Chain A
């Protein structure tokens, strides 16, 4: 009988899929290969989402990143309730899920030896939406850069303003841009990196205001949503509409840079900055 008794010590295969389906080309890529390739599709070069901490690890020299303003988080000031429940429940759940308190990670460190401040948005936290806490961290990051005369880099990955905070979220566009304005006036470089997707109020504020704008390949970048435009004009939009490549062609980004090359690209550009 014993030969078919289940051996409990043998590990069952994980129920989690071992394959990642690329959102662009629909290829199935082995999970390990996908991760080793920094969540970039080895077949079509589509850049999938990565967490803000992973991105910080990719950009900053090992052990040099110091997080700032981690204590800042959202509050449900409007007591906003929609069909799925309260905003408060939603952001508490997102805090646990994403392991961060807001849709952006801010900190400073060294990029190939060059000191810089960065705010890195995280799509896992309420779709990377721009709320009051997000805006505060982005502004504080700019203030820190100003104070320490370090270049400021913002990675945007966001669906836009956070509806659950009403006009307070809209005002974050003015708040963050006033930080950018201060950097402009003191000639501190501000670099914007646009990641898939960057839309709405984030595109219409700091994300488009980089002294240099960089995008990852195939990133969707736009103001109005694709569906809204299609409804307005009553026809289908071309496939490449609102992509990084489309923006490069129309003169709104300086370069499209692969994730694996981003660190070296940034340090190369920043090496031209002569601090007065």
Chain B
């Protein structure tokens, strides 16, 4: 990343898209948001069996942006919870493009607690631009619902595997993302803020999103290096949307492998490992 002094010209924007073939951060952003990219419901039919959807947070409503329920993956029974962006325009609108409201996060927590009662491991699937930024969401405690999930996930006495399949949008993603293992598809992104949002704040111009995407280190490769995620699930050439079956097979075997790695660990050990994992996140200096 070099210093950017002027507004990017049409040419430089075009250049950065052309660089796409080399896989710049911005190109990966575009693949992660590709209209044909498989979403949760595709994985539910291709990776899982016998899915029993469960609804509602028991306080206010059922949020269609978050889908969850019992499911089988291979020979394993799990609680599956994830954001669903939807398939066509009507479905996407119903599901609010995967942007959950507090009732969505509270439903997710309810299902996680249910998994604990049934002694089932949890698989969470992350694909959201972020938590919904609207009046009703603030009114009903968007921040509190996410904070609660993050805190409660630190205490859950069953293994948690989180998979980022598309967009890992900030707190909205983390609200179901505190896993013992965090996996990420090779063209998925995970970021503290959208590249557009970051560019409009730090560059004062949203058209600098490609620069912001690069600076933010949001790709699977960068995050593996930063020790934020545990594993990259390689997508077929051309991206997940080019071959659903191949992608699903890779996702299935990665989830199964990681679920197996967490079996037969005592609850105390599991919780200690989880606490240590998050305590180690971040880089700071101690010689001030």
Residues of A within 8 A of B (CB): 70-75, 77-85, 95, 101-102, 131-133, 135-136, 139, 161, 163-175, 177-178, 180-182, 184-185, 200-201, 203-209, 222-225, 228-229, 232-233, 237, 241-242, 250-252
Contact = CB atoms under 8 A, between A and B. Distances in A.
Contacts of A208: 141, 143-144, 147-148
Contact of A135 (B171, B215, B282): B282
Contacts of A222: 138, 143
A136 B178 CA distance: 17
Interface string B143-179: 1101110111111000000000000001100110110
A169 to B, nearest CB: 5
B287 to A, nearest CB: 7
Given A178-B278, A204-B147, A133 B138 contact: no
A95 B287 CA distance: 13
Given A167-B223, A174-B150, A222-B138, 18 more contacts: A75-B283, A77-B226, A81-B215, A83-B4, A133-B282, A161-B170, A163-B198, A166-B192, A166-B218, A167-B218, A170-B174, A173-B150, A178-B274, A201-B170, A201-B192, A203-B143, A208-B144, A232-B133
A75 B285 contact: yes
A175 B170 contact: no
A175 B288 contact: no
Contact of B135 (A75, A168, A203, A241): A241
Interface of B: 1-5, 131, 133-135, 137-144, 146-148, 150-155, 170-171, 174-175, 177-178, 190-193, 197-198, 201-204, 208, 212, 215-218, 223, 226, 228, 274-275, 278-279, 281-288
A237 B134 CA distance: 10
B284 A136 contact: yes
A203 B218 contact: no
Given A77-B226, A250-B139, A252-B144, A132 B283 contact: yes
A102 to B, nearest CB: 8
Contacts of A78: 215-217
A101 B155 CA distance: 31
B140 to A, nearest CB: 8
Contacts of A101: 288
A168 B281 contact: yes
A154 B192 CA distance: 22
A203 B174 contact: no
Contact of B216 (A163, A203, A228): A163
Contact of B282 (A70, A171, A203, A232): A171
Contacts of B2: 81
Contacts of B212: 82
B1 A133 contact: no
Contacts of A228: 133, 197
Contacts of B287: 71
Contacts of B140: 250
Q: Which 9 A-B residue pairings sit nearest by Cβ, starting from the closest?
A: A132-B282, A224-B133, A133-B284, A181-B154, A203-B143, A73-B288, A77-B283, A82-B202, A223-B143
